[in-house]
Amino acid sequence: MVSVTITLPDDLHRALKSRSETCGKTIEELIVEQLAEEAAAAAAARKTGLEILEKARRNASVTMAGMTEDEIMELAVAETHAVRREMAGERRAAAGRK
């Protein structure tokens, strides 16, 4: 395991300390959990984006007839952003329930 030193604003440290006392976890555990969740969410978003692109490619001949490659890419990017916004909302809702 790697050791990392960070500097936190006082108010963030107080909030983390309070939450750690409430949860019965160390500040380190809280930070590691949050970073792990963010990394998993980013990986899921990448996977979802690739799945959207693959679905767009498969359906291109039928649903995107007449569209240029640039238009298809713009559509895929827009869909990826929509999925990421939805996932972020789900993460925020889940964080509120903790």
pLDDT digits (tens, 9 = 90+) for 57-84: 776 666 666 778 888 888 888 888 888 8
Looking at the 3D structure of the chain, how many domains does it have?
A: 1
- Tell me what pLDDT residue 19 has: 94
Asked if residue 4 is part of any domain, the answer here is: no
More confident residue, 57 or 8: 8
Token pair belonging to 17: 């300390």
- Per-residue tokens: 68: 């240029």
Instruction: Tell whether pTM > 0.85.
Output: no
* Residue 2 maps to a domain: no
Residue 1 counted as domain residue? no
In a domain, 5, yes or no: no
Q: Would 3 be classed as within a structural domain?
A: no
Query: Could you tell me if residue 43 is inside a domain?
Result: yes
pLDDT digits (tens, 9 = 90+) for 18-57: 999 999 999 999 999 999 988 888 888 778 777 877 777 7
Indicate whether 65 belongs to any domain.
yes
d(CA 30, CA 37): 11
| Domain with 32 in it | 10-97
Q: Is residue 26 part of a domain?
A: yes
Q: What pLDDT, on the 0 to 100 scale, is given for residue 29?
A: 94
